[in-house]
Amino acid sequence: MTRHQGRHFLHIPGPSPVPERVLRAMDMPVIDHRSAEFAELGKTVLQGAKAIFKTANPVIIYPSSGTGAWEAAIVNTLSPGDKVLMVETGHFATLWQQMAARWGIEVDFIPGDWRRGVDPAVIEEKLTADTAHQLKAVMVVHNETSTGATSRIGEVRAAMDRVGHPALLMVDTISGLASADFRFDEWKVDVAVSCSQKGFMLPPGLGFNAISDKARAVAKTNKMPRSFWDWEDMLKLNANGFFPYTPATNLLYGLREAIAMLLEEGLDDVFARHQRLAAATRAAVDHWGLEVLCQEPKDFSPVLTAVLMPPGHDADQFRQIVLDNFNMSLGSGLSKVAGKVFRIGHLGECNELTLMAALSGVEMGLRVAGVPHRAGGVDAAMTLLEQPLPGNAPRHLAVVK
């Protein structure tokens, strides 16, 4: 095992690095989760989470992974034998489809090439053909962590509205929330799924469901068994800041601080910062002569960039060389793209200098690994990040074209 001095650079697309403020906030004694003190904490995070989802509707917080939040979304809204529409945008869309099938859901899974997000026109075509309204839900991944492609959820909702289809709109925004623009109420999302270790900048351990009135009404009549995941059990106690079973108290302390940090910066500024860092990363990749996996510019992810390795070069070997030599972790390729891509995370507590460190590590790694490339990708990223800003705006608000 190689030993290094200094900090480890974690640039996978989640879990993201946990800021010092959040670490300090979690460094607290565990308190009685039936006390008035805890009720105040519970009310604060439940209300604050609504601001991050951009909703006035309830947000339910589970002591779970994002996978648990997926399951909660399914078992509260769908019944065995129901039909749903999903799109193969990548590894995580495929996993959600497999979970739905295990619960007896019939999935119309639109095949994809893993190089772009959802095509709203295809959704519209499918829903137009469903004149009997057999499809109970459209289930879409907002930001596909395996590919670096986002889906345009507002356009998906517009397609559903043009058809007038009554299906629920269910969105996995596990890696999108708090990093890429997400508007639960404006886009009329019915169920949104997320978790703690991405844009919320927390350790793993919290799962989220934001739910519409329509989804809650469906949940009261569906026939899927559930206990731990039951929305109504949660909502009854959430009204007073409590939970029906032991919550992850110290993670909730961290969540309170993370929400405060996001709102202090301002969500629009958070999104602009992520877009700017993503553009600088793509500038470096283009200069190196490598290829970004996502092929549709409108779908470029602000959360991560997946990079294709040249033929004859293994992405996992390259990642190991970067780790051994420069103490930096990059994301691996998953399932269909295993060994073919590496992923650079630029989400959460990431700024120009942390990104430049990451890109320097990648460029040095390319040289050490003997991967064909054109030197100077870091300079290309710096040129973009050095663009002058209008007025006194923070640098991350510069317009990037």
Q: 372 Cβ partners below 8 Å, 6+ apart?
A: 289, 310
Tokens of 293: 């996996």
Classify residue 239 by burial, with Cβ atoms within 10 Å: 0-12, 13-18, 19+.
Answer: exposed
Q: Kindly compute the dihedral angle of the four CA atoms of residues 96, 101, 104, 105, in this order, to the nearest 10 degrees.
A: 60
d(CA 123, CA 278): 28
DSSP 168-229: EEEEE-TTTTTTS---TTTTT-SEEEEESSSTT---S--EEEEE-HHHHHHHTT-----STT
Bridge partners for 294 per DSSP: none
d(CA 5, CA 133): 60
Nearest residue to 134 (alpha-carbon basis) of 159, 105, 94, 92: 105
Tokens of 397: 């608000």
Whole-number Cα distances in Å, 323 to 217, 331, 340: 49, 11, 17
**CB atoms < 10 A from the CB of 332, how many?**
16
> Three-state secondary structure along 354-370?
HHHHHHHHHHHHHHHHC
Q: Kindly compute the dihedral angle of the four CA atoms of residues 266, 118, 305, 396, in this order, to the nearest 10 degrees.
A: -20
Classify residue 338 by burial, with Cβ atoms within 10 Å: 0-12, 13-18, 19+.
Answer: middle
Looking at residue 215, its amino acid is A
Phi, psi of 165 (to 5 degrees): -85, 135
**Residue 162 annotated as lining a ligand binding site:** no
**CB atoms < 10 A from the CB of 158, how many?**
15
Annotated binding site: 343
Annotated binding site for substrate: 343
